[in-house]
Amino acid sequence: MHIYDIRNPQDIKHLTMEELEALAQEIREFLIESIAKTGGHLSSNLGIVELTIALHYVFDAPRDRILFDVGHQSYVHKILTGRAGRFSTLRQYKGLSGFQKRYESEYDCWEAGHSSTSLSAALGMAIARDLNGEDYQVIPVIGDGAMASGMSMEALNQIGGEQRNMIILFNDNSMSISRNVGAMDVAFTKLRTSRPYTTLKSDLEQGLSGTKVGRSVLKGMKNVKNAIKDNVVNTSIFGEFNLDYIGPINGHDLPALIKVLQSLKHHRGPIVVHVLTKKGKGYPYAENDKDGKWHGVSQFDPASGQPLARVPAGHCSWSEVISRIVCDLARNDRDIIAITPAMKSGSKLDNFAREFPNRFFDCGIAEEHAATFAAALAASGKRPFLSVYSSFLQRAYDSVNHDIARMDLPVVIGIDRCGLVGEDGATHHGVFDISMLHAIPNLILSQPKDADEARALLQEAFAQEHPFCIRYPRGNVPYTKGEVQAPLGTWERWCTDGDPKVCVITYGGDVDRIREKALANHFAIEVVNARYFKPLDEKMLDQILYRPIPIILYESDMLDGGLSSAILQYINDHQIDRHLIRMGIGDHFVEQGSIAQLRKAEHIDINSLFSTIEELLACD
Ligand X SMILES: CC(=O)[C@@H](O)[C@H](O)COP(=O)(O)O
Ligand Y SMILES: Cc1ncc(C[n+]2csc(CCOP(=O)(O)OP(=O)(O)O)c2C)c(N)n1
Residue 139 β-bridge partners:
66
Residue 417 contacts which entry, ligand Y, ligand X, Mg ion, none (Cβ below 5-8 A, type-dependent): ligand X
517 is catalytic: no
- Measured between alpha carbons, how far is 429 from 355 in angstroms, rounded to an integer? 31
Residue 544 contacts which entry, ligand Y, Mg ion, ligand X, none (Cβ below 5-8 A, type-dependent): none
Nearest residue to ligand X by CB is 346
Cα separation values, 66 from 15, 71, 109, 262, 272, Å: 21, 11, 7, 15, 14
240 closest CA partner among 284, 279, 196, 184: 184
279 is catalytic: yes
Contact letters for ligand Y, residues 54-73 (x by CB under 6 A): ----------------x-xx
Tell me whether residue 292 is annotated as binding.
no
Our measurement of the distance from residue 588's CA atom to the centroid of its chain's CA atoms, rounded to an integer in Å, reads 19
CB atoms within 10 A of CB 577: 7
Q: Which helix (H) or strand (E) holds 540?
A: helix 538-545
Per CB under 5 A, contacts with Mg ion among 85-144 are 143-144
Residue 395 contacts which entry, ligand X, ligand Y, Mg ion, none (Cβ below 5-8 A, type-dependent): ligand Y
Residue 474 contacts which entry, Mg ion, ligand Y, ligand X, none (Cβ below 5-8 A, type-dependent): ligand X
Q: Catalytic: which of 50, 320, 367, 423?
A: 367
486 closest CA partner among 514, 447, 520, 524: 447
Pairing mode, strands 468-473 and 551-558? unpaired
Residue 296 contacts which entry, ligand Y, ligand X, Mg ion, none (Cβ below 5-8 A, type-dependent): ligand X
Choices 14-22, 139-147, 499-507, 595-603; region in contact with ligand Y by CB under 6 A? 139-147
Cβ–Cβ under 8 Å, residues 170 and 98: no
Cβ–Cβ under 8 Å, residues 263 and 225: yes
Identify which of residues 247 and 296 has a Cβ nearer to ligand X in the complex: 296
Per CB under 6 A, contacts with ligand Y among 324-353 are 342
As measured in angstroms, the least distance from the Cβ of 172 to ligand Y is 8
Identify which of residues 423 and 555 has a Cβ nearer to ligand X in the complex: 423
Q: How many residues bind ligand X (CB under 6 A)?
A: 9
SS (H, E, C) 470-503: EEEECCEEECCCCCCCCCCCCCEEEECCCCCCEE
Q: Catalytic: which of 395, 417, 449, 474?
A: 395
Choices 145-153, 155-163, 476-484, 530-538; region in contact with Mg ion by CB under 5 A? 145-153
Contact letters for ligand X, residues 473-492 (x by CB under 6 A): -x------------------
Cβ–Cβ under 8 Å, residues 61 and 10: no
Tell me whether residue 296 is annotated as binding.
no
Contact letters for Mg ion, residues 161-190 (x by CB under 5 A): ------------x-x---------------
- Measured between alpha carbons, how far is 70 from 232 in angstroms, rounded to an integer? 27
- Measured between alpha carbons, how far is 442 from 465 in angstroms, rounded to an integer? 10
Tell me whether residue 114 is annotated as binding.
yes
Cα separation values, 117 from 114, 124, 369, Å: 7, 11, 16
Residue 65 β-bridge partners:
138
- Of 164, 274, 295, 359, the one binding ligand X (CB under 6 A) is 295
Dmax (CA) of the chain:
89
Residues of the chain by 3-state class (helix, strand, coil), percent to 5: 45, 15, 40
Contacts of 30-34 with CB under 8 Å at 24 or more apart are 30/3, 30/79, 30/84, 30/87, 31/75, 31/76, 32/282, 32/283, 32/302, 33/302, 34/87, 34/88, 34/90
Rg (CA), the chain: 27
- Measured between alpha carbons, how far is 472 from 462 in angstroms, rounded to an integer? 17
Per CB under 6 A, contacts with ligand Y among 79-118 are 114-115
Query: What does DSSP assign to residue 240?
Result: G
Taking CB under 6 A as the rule, does residue 392 contact ligand Y?
Answer: yes
Cα separation values, 508 from 452, 527, 600, 614, Å: 12, 12, 18, 23
Q: Catalytic: which of 65, 279, 281, 474?
A: 279
Tell me whether residue 252 is annotated as binding.
no
As measured in angstroms, the least distance from the Cβ of 362 to Mg ion is 14
Per CB under 6 A, contacts with ligand Y among 266-305 are 279
As measured in angstroms, the least distance from the Cβ of 283 to ligand Y is 15
Residue 556 contacts which entry, Mg ion, ligand Y, ligand X, none (Cβ below 5-8 A, type-dependent): none
Tell me whether residue 113 is annotated as binding.
yes
Q: Which amino acid is at 279?
A: K
Per CB under 6 A, contacts with ligand X among 398-427 are 417, 421, 424
Tell me whether residue 236 is annotated as binding.
no
Tell me whether residue 130 is annotated as binding.
no
- Of 6, 36, 79, 146, the one binding ligand Y (CB under 6 A) is 146
13 is catalytic: no
Taking CB under 6 A as the rule, does residue 365 contact ligand Y?
Answer: yes
Taking CB under 6 A as the rule, does residue 35 contact ligand X?
Answer: no
The site for Mg ion (CB under 5 A) is made up of 143-145, 173, 175
Give catalytic residues, as residue numbers.
Answer: 279, 367, 395
As annotated, the binding site includes 72, 113-115, 144-146, 173, 283, 367
As annotated, the binding site for thiamine diphosphate includes 72, 113-115, 145-146, 173, 283, 367
The site for ligand X (CB under 6 A) is made up of 70, 72, 295-296, 346, 417, 421, 424, 474
The site for ligand Y (CB under 6 A) is made up of 44, 70, 72-73, 114-115, 143-146, 173, 175-177, 279, 342, 365, 367, 392, 395
